[in-house]
Chains A and B, each alone.
Chain A
């Protein structure tokens, strides 16, 4: 299952923070037409690189699905950047 939410937290030296909830599900829906437009290019790439198109699509889906649960956090005295994919 592809990720549906990303949570981004930022903390500036002034102490103020930004807490962003990014609804990825909406972004995927918005990107769907772009993905459909990009499909012929993917097909061309697969043709030139002699790669199975179905396998390529499934692998890209697996990479997207694998992003769920990713957490990256950098923190020092004044700054904090945290990204969580759910």
Chain B
């Protein structure tokens, strides 16, 4: 049995799994996330959310390929890749792997030490860049990620606390393709973290329970704790906050979505500046120069990265 307090209901396994799939189908239909013949790339971390989503999408008959990004976080990354590969092998599904160190010259622990951004921020930036580029180069129609209701509510809270109106305008669970950016969708946005964990457990999915060793104390976690404290005494607040935003809040911010994009001079991926945030962060970590100009001081890069609206950040400024 699993109890979902916001629904005032307890479910047996069979009905819980049916409810879970129905919520995913509802999200896909409501936001026209994908068509039956679309080639879907799913960003896979080895955690409960991405593997639960992969399982549901395969069950619904979609053509889904996994993409795992090796972050170079020691045994945590090794185990995450093994778990993702085992999931794919058991279902005859395809899994592609990009490795940050092998393919881009740095790993996340190094970037966290050398760069001017937090470890989680540069990790999120790297993921969004790699997934977009890999999907475009692989001819995929859409990238699906395992962001759940808790993730989205926490991001919305962070964006609202800072009144980041452009980010608020773009927090739709389905962002259409534009200017070198592949379509991005979040089919789990109606389901809480408790529900995705329960689904993975009840489906017998082995996932990485351990938390990333670098994540302790990050901003997203603090926002989740704050929302969960309210949810504990007022079940349903979390879904009212985010799903209410989608129905009534998001349209009010649409005028704020105004970033114009063009190709990064280094890699060709879309950016609002001369070089994209990924290339600038990577150059900073590796001590390289971009475009043959004078090396930009760390402090200046940090300030620019913080201020500029950058495509790899457009989807989720709170960083994931």
Q: Check if A and B associate.
A: no
> Which residue numbers of A lie inside 8 Å of B, CB to CB?
none
Instruction: Please list the residues of chain B having a beta carbon within 8 angstroms of any beta carbon in chain A.
Output: none
